Amino acid sequence: LAKTTQPISMDSYEGQEVNITCSHNNIATNDYITWYQQFPSQGPRFIIQGYKTKVTNEVASLFIPADRKSSTLSLPRVSLSDTAVYYCLVGGIYNQGGKLIFGQGTELSVKP
Amino acid sequence: GAVVSQHPSWVICKSGTSVKIECRSLDFQATTMFWYRQFPKQSLMLMATSNEGSKATYEQGVEKDKFLINHASLTLSTLTVTSAHPEDSSFYICSARGTGANTGELFFGEGSRLTVL
């Protein structure tokens, strides 16, 4: 399974755009890239998933370069409630039983 | 979206007792569920993959006789921590892969916090 590397922590202020980059140099051809958000004492919550180029939904955008060895989660205009740990995961939907291995995650702190 | 529910959300037990945690997919069938544990300030660690109607597949270093997993139906998987000890105190989280339009997305339960005295 592809290993991911993310910054351990990031600080931001309300209203700013936050970009969290994840490295996954040994991503496999059929691997998808998925980002999750986790608040303390809660299960992770799905944010966005992509395979290549750019994906956008109502809460975030995901940028994936052509070589797919990294990805960037973009959170527009963050608020205090976006303070959480963000995990980048790489895995196939059906290979390896579809399991996802969590890396260390990025602890985002949004300040007023 | 698909919902995964865990019960209980928290449990306190005495050392040596067994504790069962349930994980249910509420609006979809999950042939495969995953169990994670998470210690404070750490990431989620995959413990095992639960397959409906067959034996679970455990990750390296996870004792299968200590953490019994039963996936008896397409909507229910259970994790039993046998003869629990204080070092088993942790946050246990289950997840299930979506089906149909949600295929590819992994839905997580709310987690179950186990405290062993």
How would residue A63 be classed by pLDDT, with cut points 50, 70 and 90?
very high
Q: Is the pLDDT of residue B28 over 60?
A: yes
What's the confidence (pLDDT) of residue A97? 60
Interface test with B, best of A22, A41, A90 (most B CBs within 10 A): A41
How would residue A93 be classed by pLDDT, with cut points 50, 70 and 90?
low
How would residue A76 be classed by pLDDT, with cut points 50, 70 and 90?
very high
Q: Is the pLDDT of residue B74 over 90?
A: no
What's the confidence (pLDDT) of residue B29? 84
Nearest to B109 among A43, A49, A93 (CB): A43
What's the confidence (pLDDT) of residue A61? 98
- Nearest chain A residue to B95 by CA distance is A43
**Token code pair at residue B89:** 């105190």
Which is higher by pLDDT, A101 or B86?
B86
Q: SS3 of A65, please?
A: coil
Q: Chain A partners of B47 at a C-beta cutoff of 8 Å?
A: none
Rounded Cα gap, residues A8 and A81, in angstroms = 19
Q: Is the pLDDT of residue A75 over 80?
A: yes
Residues 44-73 of B with CB under 8 A from A: 44-46, 49, 51, 57
- Nearest chain A residue to B99 by CA distance is A93
Are B38 and B45 a contacting pair, CB within 8 Å? yes
Average pLDDT over residues B43-65: 91
Residues across chain B:
117
Please state the separation of Cα B43 from the chain's center in Å: 15
CA dihedral B90, A92, A106, A53 (to 10 degrees): -160
Of A11-25, B33-47, B95-109, the poorest mean pLDDT is in B95-109
Interface test with A, best of B7, B32, B33, B43 (most A CBs within 10 A): B43
Rounded Cα gap, residues A64 and B49, in angstroms = 29
Q: Is the pLDDT of residue B66 over 90?
A: yes
Are A70 and A3 a contacting pair, CB within 8 Å? no
Nearest to A49 among B45, B57, B105 (CB): B105
What's the confidence (pLDDT) of residue B102? 56
Q: Which residues contact B106 (CB under 8 A, 6 or more apart)?
A: A34, A46, A98, A100, B34, B95, B96, B97, B98
What's the confidence (pLDDT) of residue B2? 65
- By the 10 Å C-beta count (0-12 exposed, 13-18 middle, 19+ buried), B20 is classed as middle
Average pLDDT over residues A7-21: 97
Average pLDDT over residues B88-114: 84
Q: How far is B25 from chain A (nearest CA, A)?
A: 14
Rounded Cα gap, residues B75 and B86, in angstroms = 30
Q: Chain A partners of B43 at a C-beta cutoff of 8 Å?
A: 87, 102-105
Q: Which of B93, B70, B9 is nearest to A102 (CA)?
A: B93
Average pLDDT over residues A20-28: 94
Percent of chain B with pLDDT over 70: 92
Count the neighbouring beta carbons within 10 Å of the beta carbon of residue B53.
9
Q: Is the pLDDT of residue B53 over 60?
A: yes
Residues 42-61 of A with CB under 8 A from B: 42-46, 49
Are B77 and B69 a contacting pair, CB within 8 Å? yes
Amino acid at B99: T
Are B103 and A93 a contacting pair, CB within 8 Å? yes
